[in-house]
């Protein structure tokens, strides 16, 4: 056997001895099984072989057990040894005795070494995949940190400290995320796929769970279970609302989450690319919860429809824009947080009420989808629409100029008729 093949076999052993995430007993078992597979293929059986693996020393020993037979009775050289050959090992051997001798695996030939390497590689790869799948299946919902290795069009490839590959799809990134190769990225493990025994770990930075875990890291009272995060609503990179509840009356849950001068929440906001986070007190009182969810707007009254999970929210005219928020973001998040479909209405005083008309009364002249578009910007009455300039209406509703002109003409004509 050449020196090159000897070195190759030693390297093979060392290669697997250094594997991470595989415990000692499993490694020994896999290597022993691999040696036995090779032996079995060569001789038809491995039952008369003892394989001893020494991971600490980085080597192995193989012993073959054979029965001594008469010189003219030899049938299977693998299971039997002639008396003459046995006495060459030890003069005291007799017929029917067992002979155990150390076998040099290199003597099995080049093909045996190649088969061993292939078998080991296959088994170790399978074992690593199983370990990765098992490890990350248990970590779903937990935050991990990994180094950005490669950026593709639809996803990024990250490598963790053990060399495992993690994937962060474009759809799971905050829109304002920007990274370079080599950057360390934090994200939550969203799911672990296992197609054809090829585990794929999917991460997310837009999941509400990511925000929840960040709060657990920054707020000790949440980590200790004194404060509970009841619900989260997110528009990643833009705004989020978090409802919290305290199990200890002495603890202000909102104050604890925000921290002195915002010290605790600032770190979370930076991690989420300056996502604006509203923390509110949770309550089982639905009307009060909706009212808090729509902050900073001050609600005058709420009419609930528990069956259809809808709520009509009435506010003073100056509060409507705050309730709806920029691009309707505040009311959308409040709806997501409370689980209710929220409709905002202006609360008119008696004098204005007699002069103004709700847009719904124009449904025979104006399509409902146009009325709904106007409502989303806080306009639910005719005068509230007429109080906004034509250009602002076009910009804020994203409706066609012709559509806005038609609406303004209809509403203006209504009041002209009255006059």
Q: Residue 45: which CATH number?
A: 3.30.1480
Residue 302 forms part of a structural domain: no
**Do 80 and 193 fall within a single domain?**
no
Please, are residues 380 and 358 in contact by the beta-carbon 8 Å criterion?
A: yes
Residue 75 to residues 46, 81, 98, Cα–Cα distance (Å)? 17, 9, 16
As a 3-state breakdown, the chain gives helix, strand, coil percent values, each rounded to 5, of 45, 25, 30
Domain count, the chain: 2
**Do 153 and 42 fall within a single domain?**
no
Determine phi and psi for 306, rounding to 5 degrees. Answer: -65, -35
For the domain that residue 194 is a member of, what is the CATH number? 2.40.50.140
Domain boundary residue, one of 134, 163, 180 = 134
Most distant CA atoms of the chain, gap in Å: 131
Residue 297 forms part of a structural domain: no
pLDDT 10s digits, 21-36: 666 777 778 888 888 8
**Segments of the chain scoring below 70 in pLDDT:** 1-23, 55-58, 348-354, 417-419
Residue 48: its H or E element: none
**Do 42 and 153 fall within a single domain?**
no
**Do 108 and 201 fall within a single domain?**
no
Residue 361 forms part of a structural domain: no
Residue 181 forms part of a structural domain: yes
Cα 326 from Cα 189, distance rounded (Å): 31
**Do 109 and 154 fall within a single domain?**
no
Bridge-based pairing of strands 184-195 and 301-305 is unpaired
pLDDT of residue 417: 55
Residue 239 forms part of a structural domain: no
**Do 150 and 130 fall within a single domain?**
no
**Do 68 and 88 fall within a single domain?**
yes
Helices then strands, counting H and E runs in the chain, come out as 16, 15
DSSP 388: S
**Do 149 and 33 fall within a single domain?**
no
pLDDT 10s digits, 30-61: 888 888 888 888 888 999 999 888 766 667 88
Cα 39 from Cα 211, distance rounded (Å): 55
Work out the angle between the directed axes of helices 110-137 and 3-17 (0-180°, nearest 10). 10
Residue 81 forms part of a structural domain: yes
pLDDT of residue 19: 58
- The number of CA neighbours under 13 Å toward the Cβ of 11 is 8
Residue 196 to residues 126, 138, 383, Cα–Cα distance (Å)? 11, 20, 63
Q: Is the dihedral of CA 61, 64, 65, 71 positive or negative?
A: negative
Cα 378 from Cα 372, distance rounded (Å): 10
**Do 37 and 155 fall within a single domain?**
no
Q: Is 368 left (phi over 0), alpha (psi -120 to 50) or beta?
A: alpha
Residue 128 forms part of a structural domain: yes
Cα 51 from Cα 95, distance rounded (Å): 25
**Do 61 and 125 fall within a single domain?**
yes
Find how far residue 13's CA is from the centre of its chain.
36
Residue 164 forms part of a structural domain: yes
pTM: 0.68
**Do 108 and 44 fall within a single domain?**
yes
**Do 118 and 167 fall within a single domain?**
no
Non-local CB neighbours of 123 within 8 Å, separated by 6+ positions: 30, 33, 34
Range of the domain at 91: 3-134
Our CA dihedral for 211, 214, 218, 222, rounded to 10 degrees, sits at 70
């Amino acid at each position: 056997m050449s020196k090159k093949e000897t070195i190759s076999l030693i390297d093979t052993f060392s290669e697997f001895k250094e594997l991470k995430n595989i415990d000692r007993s499993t490694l020994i078992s896999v290597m022993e099984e691999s040696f036995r597979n090779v032996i079995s293929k060569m001789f038809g059986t491995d039952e008369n072989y003892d394989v001893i693996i020494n991971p600490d020393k980085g080597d192995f020993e193989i012993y073959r057990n054979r029965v001594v037979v008469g010189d003219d009775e030899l049938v299977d050289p693998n299971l039997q040894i002639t008396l003459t050959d046995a006495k060459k090992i030890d003069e005291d051997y007799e017929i029917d005795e067992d002979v155990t001798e150390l076998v040099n695996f290199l003597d099995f030939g080049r093909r045996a070494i190649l088969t061993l390497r292939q078998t080991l590689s296959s088994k170790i790869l399978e074992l690593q995949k199983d370990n990765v799948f098992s490890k990350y299946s248990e970590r779903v919902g937990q935050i991990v940190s990994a180094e950005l290795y490669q950026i593709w069009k639809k996803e990024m490839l990250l490598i963790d400290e053990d060399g495992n590959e993690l994937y962060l799809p474009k759809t799971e990134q905050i829109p304002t995320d920007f990274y370079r190769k080599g950057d360390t990225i934090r994200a939550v493990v969203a799911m672990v796929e296992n197609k054809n025994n090829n585990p794929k770990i999917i991460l997310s930075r837009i999941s509400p769970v990511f925000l929840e875990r960040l709060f657990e890291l920054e707020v000790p009272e949440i980590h200790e279970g004194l404060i509970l995060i009841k619900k989260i609503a997110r528009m990643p990179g833009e705004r989020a609302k978090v409802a919290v509840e305290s199990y200890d009356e002495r603890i202000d849950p909102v104050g604890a989450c925000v921290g002195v001068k915002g010290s605790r929440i600032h770190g979370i906001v930076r991690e989420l690319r300056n996502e604006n986070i509203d923390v509110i007190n949770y309550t089982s009182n639905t009307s009060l919860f909706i009212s808090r969810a729509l902050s900073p707007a001050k609600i005058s009254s709420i009419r609930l429809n528990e069956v259809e999970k809808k709520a009509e929210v009435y506010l003073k005219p100056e509060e409507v824009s705050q309730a709806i928020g920029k691009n309707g973001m505040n009311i959308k998040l409040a709806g997501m947080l409370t689980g209710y479909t929220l409709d905002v209405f202006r609360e008119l005083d008696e004098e204005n009420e007699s002069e103004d008309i709700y847009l719904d009364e124009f449904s025979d002249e104006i399509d409902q989808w146009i009325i709904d578009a106007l409502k989303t910007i806080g306009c639910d009455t005719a005068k509230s629409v007429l109080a906004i300039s034509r250009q602002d209406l076009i910009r804020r509703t994203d409706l066609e100029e012709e559509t806005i002109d038609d609406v303004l003409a209809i509403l203006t004509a209504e009041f002209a008729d009255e006059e």
